[in-house]
Amino acid sequence: MGPGHPECPERLDAIEDRLLASGVGAALEHREAPVAPISDIELAHGRMHVAALRGLTDGLREEINAGGPTHAQIDPDTSLNVYTWDAALRAAGAALAATDAVLAGEMENAFCAIRPPGHHACRDKAMGFCFFNNVAIAALYALERHGLKRVAIVDFDVHHGNGTEDIVKGDQRVLMVSFFQHPFYPEGGSVSNASNLVNVPVPAYTKGAEVRALIDAHWIPRLEAYQPEMIFISAGFDAHRDDDLGQMGLVESDYAWITERIKNVARRHSQGRIVSCLEGGYDLNALARSVEAHVRVLADL
């Protein structure tokens, strides 16, 4: 995104270092992220959106060769460079490969340490650090390519997953449950009252105990009634109390608790099948500790 931007390469370095130092990484199987086929990305995105991002990348490469700028601005917070296109294809590709592996029974669940994030990417618009909606692509891929009938998306990022909502609203094959700080970015929070959405807006400075109670009251009954065949997680960790991009008060134990609750639903209805994809989380230490807590629960460590 450019110098000083919070959505930076150091985020993945911090996660990798923490998993290595804690010993958690040694208990996991690691796989490289492949490139997602354009045909699968277009399950969630319009062809013009995909073509526009590719065109921006090609144009930027020509400008750089002519001594021009190194970044193309999408919005005030979001820019791409000549490597963004490939990174975004591999971020989506990780989610697709994880979906394949989990559905093939090669692993019970997977965590995709990927960037750029995805849950603000709408069907026809990149925004909020996001270009392709990794979780929405994977969820629709499970439905369209693998023949599942019902999947759930769980989003616990501090920001509302407006892009995911834009893509799945009204699609009864997908149940999306989320909480998010409100009012906050993106402006307006949820703009849909579609019956397949369970949006739980919470005020700034909400702490873990309140979030846990809201999850038990709103998410879990809907997930239990829906009985998803697979669960996808938009795993943003910027609701952590140390993260300056949000003003909520979660800590690592809250993320472990949320993950356990999701995993319990998956055990009962989804054969344990979960694919979790990194979204936000910008305080490097808090991000790394929270991912460790999340992955420990996923891996039964």
Residues designated catalytic = 120
Q: In the numeric block, which tokens belong to residue 168?
A: 């799945």
Query: In whole angstroms, what is the distance from residue 273 CA to residue 265 CA?
Result: 10
Question: Do residues 143 and 153 lie in contact, with contact meaning Cβ atoms separated by under 8 Å?
Answer: no
Question: CB neighbours (10 Å) of residue 170?
Answer: 10
* CB contact at 8 A, 14 and 287: yes
Q: What angle is formed at CA 264 by the lines to CA 291 and CA 221, rounded to 5 degrees?
A: 110
DSSP string for the chain: --TT-SS-THHHHHHHHHHHHHSTGGGS---PPPPPPHHHHTTTS-HHHHHHHHHHHHHHHHHHHTT--S-EEEETTEEE-TTHHHHHHHHHHHHHHHHHHHHTTS-SEEEE--SS--TT-BTTB-BTTBSS-HHHHHHHHHHHTT--S-EEEEE--SS--HHHHHHHTT-TTEEEEEEEESS-SSTTS-----TTEEEEEE-TT-BHHHHHHHIIIIIHHHHHHH--SEEEEEE--TTBTT-TT---BB-HHHHHHHHHHHHHHHHHHSTT-EEEEE----SHHHHHHHHHHHHHHHTT-
279 and 269 Cβ atoms separated by less than 8 Å = no
